[in-house]
């Protein structure tokens, strides 16, 4: 028997409505026991977690792992190590690879690659993501796809989107929509507003996203399908989803840390790491995203992890590809930007990064109930530190957050009972907040 005891931590598990100091015993990859004081026997590995938070492993439902096609930027294996480093034990990988994940054999390819954590394939809605012919959705579902998306591109033709939604209900999987009205976004590269005028960059209005969100909500109502809206970034989109939920339409949505951390004003630096699609929005959009996260309109925080090589990013803003790496900064940015200022509670943060995305995708994650698969994230909520380029494990370092000071850091990641990441750099030289933490917080016993 393989036994692991996580001892002395504050266990936060929204699925079982738990927030208390409990030891967590894992036996053979499954949560075996939870109690205030458990005593290890000789062959039990112990993780001392006093002062730390213990939660179900994070679930990132929107990542780009670049394999097949751009293995120089990321592979499923390197992306899974970045995930483990970020406390993420399950990811859903978007199908905009080269070639696209649009056949059962490509779905199986993604599932069978070597990986430190659980990687779930999202299959394309249309063949080659070209927006013209639906994929064989039943076959893709049978092969193990957990959702369908043409992410990176919208499904332009509403008739094709309608049929995709109808078929998706038959196979019981959600459609994840990249909402963008191309006729409005055109060749734009940043949010339309005062900042785009000052920067002299081609603008993308908020309406380019909102028109597409409205269309897909109407189609979801018409078909009764489960629609999930990817990377919501504007106030108007939040309001459309809020009203749709009030009307009983089966819609869920996600946002990403950059949309509650950065604004279009930051883009005036012309840093190509700030180029994302949808673009960074205005301060009022950012405020609305925060309200949506707190009131339950937004269901999940995903990273939209989009690794790009430095050569690709070291060009003019207009020419750079959109996207930033994100798996490793998901948790510290959420803690720093949302939990510490009191916008959301720690429990709500765990719902947004674990429990709720797991339930949207219907995957066996997001719970520390006895008998659940033992995917666990342990983090020190008070650890103040600065993100540095060499700290990233991902093959690509295209993060605008390098140099940023954050608070909260993953110390251990457990996937199916195995420790897949542990922080070895516990040196006191890091600027830890001694004033606000108990002494002797993190020592690791192996």
Binding site for Zn ion (CB under 5 A): 151, 304
**Integer angstrom CA distances of residue 429 from 53, 335, 385, 433, 435:** 22, 22, 10, 11, 15
Is 380 known to be catalytic? no
Which of residues 25 and 189 has its CB atom nearest to Zn ion in the complex?
189
CA quadruple 73, 333, 280, 391: dihedral sign: negative
Q: How far is the CB of 111 from Zn ion (least distance, A)?
A: 20
Q: How far is the CB of 39 from Zn ion (least distance, A)?
A: 46
- Which of 102, 304, 375, 382 is the catalytic position? 304
Burial class (CB in 10 A: 0-12, 13-18, 19+), 424: exposed
Q: How far is the CB of 255 from Zn ion (least distance, A)?
A: 12
Which of residues 63 and 184 has its CB atom nearest to Zn ion in the complex?
63
Q: How far is the CB of 18 from Zn ion (least distance, A)?
A: 32
CA atoms of 44 and 62, how far apart (whole Å)? 35
Q: How far is the CB of 278 from Zn ion (least distance, A)?
A: 10
204 φ/ψ angles, rounded to the nearest 5 degrees: -120, 115
Residue pair 442/52 in contact (Cβ under 8 Å)? The answer is yes
Residue for token digits 């080269």?
A: 98
CA atoms of 186 and 202, how far apart (whole Å)? 9
Which of residues 151 and 254 has its CB atom nearest to Zn ion in the complex?
151
> How many secondary structure helices (H) and strands (E) does the chain include?
13, 20
Which of residues 129 and 290 has its CB atom nearest to Zn ion in the complex?
129
Which of residues 173 and 256 has its CB atom nearest to Zn ion in the complex?
256
Tell me whether strands 44-48 and 3-7 are parallel, antiparallel or unpaired. Answer: parallel
Q: What is the 3-state secondary structure (H, E, C) of 101-165?
A: CCCHHHHHHHHHCCCCCEEEEEECCEHHHCCCCECCHHHHHHHCCCEECCCCCCCCCHHHHHHHH
Q: How far is the CB of 112 from Zn ion (least distance, A)?
A: 23
3 state DSSP class of 1: coil
Task: Give the largest CA-CA distance in the chain.
Answer: 66
CA atoms of 374 and 415, how far apart (whole Å)? 6
* Among candidate residues 28, 49, 80, 91, the one with its CA nearest the CA of residue 373: 28
Which of residues 94 and 420 has its CB atom nearest to Zn ion in the complex?
94
**Catalytically active residues, by annotation:** 304
């Amino acid at each position: 028997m393989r036994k692991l005891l996580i001892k002395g931590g504050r266990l936060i598990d929204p699925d079982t409505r738990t927030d208390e100091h409990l030891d967590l015993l894992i036996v053979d990859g499954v949560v075996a026991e939870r109690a205030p004081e458990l005593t290890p026997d000789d062959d039990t590995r112990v993780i001392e977690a006093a002062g730390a938070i213990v939660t179900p492993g994070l679930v990132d439902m929107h990542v780009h792992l670049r394999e097949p096609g751009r293995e120089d930027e990321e592979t499923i294996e390197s992306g899974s190590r970045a995930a483990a480093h970020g406390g993420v034990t399950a990811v859903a990988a978007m199908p905009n690879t080269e070639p696209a994940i649009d056949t059962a054999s490509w779905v199986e390819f993604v599932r069978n690659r070597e990986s430190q954590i659980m990687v779930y394939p999202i299959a394309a809605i249309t063949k080659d993501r070209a927006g013209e012919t639906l994929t064989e959705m039943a076959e893709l579902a049978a092969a193990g796809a957990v959702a369908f998306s043409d992410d990176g591109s919208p499904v332009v033709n509403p008739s094709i989107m309608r049929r995709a939604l109808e078929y998706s209900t038959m196979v019981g999987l959600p459609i994840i929509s990249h909402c963008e009205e191309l006729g409005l976004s055109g060749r734009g590269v940043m949010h339309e507003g005062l900042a785009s005028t000052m920067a002299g960059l081609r603008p993308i209005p908020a309406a380019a996203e909102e028109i597409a969100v409205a269309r897909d909500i109407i189609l979801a109502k018409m078909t009764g399908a489960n629609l999930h809206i990817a990377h919501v970034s504007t106030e108007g989109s939040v309001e459309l989803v809020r009203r749709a939920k009030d009307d009983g339409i089966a819609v869920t949505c996600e946002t990403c840390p950059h949309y509650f951390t950065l604004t279009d004003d930051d883009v005036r630096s012309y840093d190509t790491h700030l180029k994302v699609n949808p673009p960074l929005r205005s301060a009022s959009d950012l405020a609305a995203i925060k309200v949506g996260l707190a009131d339950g309109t937004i269901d999940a925080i995903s990273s939209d992890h989009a690794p790009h090589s430095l050569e690709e990013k070291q060009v003019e803003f207009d020419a750079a590809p959109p996207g930033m790496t994100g798996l490793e900064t998901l948790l510290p940015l959420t803690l720093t930007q949302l939990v510490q200022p009191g916008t959301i509670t720690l429990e709500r943060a765990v719902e947004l990064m674990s429990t709720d995305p797991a339930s949207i995708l219907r995957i066996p994650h997001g719970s520390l109930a006895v008998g659940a698969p033992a995917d666990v994230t342990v983090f020190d909520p008070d650890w103040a530190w600065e993100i540095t380029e060499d700290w990233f494990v991902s093959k690509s370092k295209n993060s605008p957050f390098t140099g940023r000071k954050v608070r909260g850091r993953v110390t251990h990641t457990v996937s199916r009972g195995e420790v897949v990441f542990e922080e070895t750099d516990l040196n006191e030289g890091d600027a830890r907040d001694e004033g606000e933490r108990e002494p002797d917080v993190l020592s690791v016993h192996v």
